[in-house]
Chain A
């Protein structure tokens, strides 16, 4: 299947700082990227959908000013968790798709805010 690379895989940050997570499609052009959050032993919760060159569409209850999403190119989307707090600690996963492929997931990022 297609390769989606997510970086970093793990990050620990101090409360109040910001963290950027990158999601890259390595061998296809991702017209759409999705960002999910997953709590332990829970299913994936869609946070937002981003299309290249346009603003992300956030799901209800997700703070767009806290979770900044940029999809500047067909191969890169970033999620920035701003002013992180311990309750933001979670597993964040991106997935990428174009019109001719299924959505493939990145490896995920384990964020711990201390």
Chain B
């Protein structure tokens, strides 16, 4: 059974702080890793994807991947109240069918 684990939260941070979201996965054959943001009642939207070990930065977001530890994280710098949402980690197994396994999500609350 391929699993993706996330702390359900809620994670509360003050405005301007760094929010750190973590995710572990069980399938060592996983090749691609995605972070989605989902506002209540809305569909998920892609924030970042990462394929290689190390860090990938995009604006205020940094994704970190460590395949040896089967761990992927998302850092949000200068957190804003508008970042308050559920963040879903998704993992794609090997192959080209883009089948994603989702974690249950972490609820982030950024307090003004």
Interface range on chain A: under 10, 10 to 19, 20 to 34, or 35 or more?
A: 20 to 34
Chain B residues whose C-beta falls within 8 Å of the C-beta of A1 in the assembled complex: 46
For the complex, give the distance between the alpha carbons of A32 and B88 in Å. Answer: 21
* Residues A93 and B97 in contact, CB atoms below 8 Å apart: no
- Partner of B103 from the list A43, A97, A102, A104 (CB cut-off 8 Å) is A43
On whether the beta carbons of A106 and B43 are closer than 8 Å, the reply is yes
Chain B residues, CB < 8 A from A42: 104
Per a CB cutoff under 8 Å, which of A102, A106, A108 touches B46? A102
Tell me if A67 is interfacial: C-beta within 8 Å of chain B.
Answer: no
Instruction: Let me know if A103 and B98 touch, CB within 8 A.
Output: yes
Q: How many residues of chain B have a CB within 8 Å of chain A?
A: 20
Which chain A residues border B44 with CB–CB below 8 Å? 44, 93, 105
Q: Are A44 and B34 in contact (CB under 8 A)?
A: no
* Interface class of chain A by DSSP: strand
- Chain B residues, CB < 8 A from A102: 34, 46, 49, 98
Contact with A along B41-75 (1 / 0, CB 8 A): 11111100100000000000000000000000000
Cβ of B100 and Cβ of A105 under 8 Å apart? no
Chain B residue with the shortest CB-CB distance to A49: B99
List B residues at the A interface (Cβ < 8 Å). Answer: 34, 36, 41-46, 49, 88, 96-105
10 contacts between A and B (CB under 8 A): A1-B46, A32-B97, A32-B98, A42-B104, A43-B88, A43-B104, A46-B100, A105-B43, A105-B44, A110-B41
